[in-house]
Chains A and B, each alone.
Chain A
Amino acid sequence: MSVPLTLLGLLEREPSHGYDLKRDYDTYFGRGRPLPFGQVYATLGRLARDGKVVMGEVGPGEGPDRKRYVITELGATEVRTWLSEPVEPEPHLQTVLFAKVVLTLMLGRPAEEYLDLQRAAHLRRMRELTEIKRGDSLVDGLLADHGLFHLEADLRWIELTTARLEQLAKAVRS
């Protein structure tokens, strides 16, 4: 998650105070890892230095939260470019799962039992995510869906690998 680009994106909606940006970031993107205030203001400072945001009018009161930040054309262009670029597909070709299966077979141990345990662990996590999906928040549900589809992909790999264990054992022991 790119914090500077996400904050810029939030600013493109409307000029905002640092506090509002932190609140919205934590609500939609933080997921149990709130953004420290220090990081919010340090990031905004760097974005201002690079000409991507400017300070708007200063409200009454004291402290840094008096400042409203406004996105510049440069910042808006950067957000538009970022949002239009596809994310790098991550094939995860060297996963721990893969390494454990291959090593288990190399060592002559029963990989099927490991895969059964892994399947159970995946399904347990999928049940937790399904419970989240069945809650009221569509945003939480959408994020849970992302996790569910990835876990499902792992499970398909587990099923296929289970079906090919004999062949795989021969291949890695030869």
Chain B
Amino acid sequence: MMYELVDVKLLYGQRVALSIPAMLIGKGERVALMGPNGSGKTSLLKLMDGLIGPSEGRVLLEGKTVVKPAPARPRSVYLHQYPYLLSGTVAYNVGFGCRALGMDAREIRRRAEEAIALLGLEGMEGRTNRALSGGEAQRVALARAMATGAEILLLDEPSASADTASVALIAEAIRRCSEAGTTVVFSTHDEDFTRALEGRRVRLNAGRIENDEGGAA
């Protein structure tokens, strides 16, 4: 099992943001987290990435407590709903994740070119982060995450700020990564996007799992 959540509680002050007695996510699964604003989707993704820790319980990745930065594989990358791009060009941003992992320049270029092609960003390599639309920025950030070869992608509403064409490109890129064995967990309000990607659906409400279609818990 890739992820195992055991008696996880996340408190913001007195408020219970998440309360998940048990949840399992298998390797290579494609999981859509759905639910209204404030239902805990973003918190759950951040917990799974180790960006925040649970107030109670354990989040296990291949049997080990999730910590960030990850000491060993498998690696996860979390993508914000409105991603942060560094000052610089599209090519610089897409390659940055590989650079952060210490890859050499040739490998960075090769992976960046692949990811740029996958997300339909050809011809935009020289454009700066400030000159991108929301959907383009989303695709650049997704390309950055995918170029790293992460085994787990945790995507916070990846289609939220994208236009129809971008949504189709993002869905296709996610599908291809998933088919290559990457575990993908994404939050969304978009039923069409979820349908296009198929897979498991977990509905959250007020921090609790309300419905899990095809889940192990």
Q: State yes or no: do A and B come from one complex.
A: no
Q: Which residue numbers of B lie inside 8 Å of A, CB to CB?
A: none
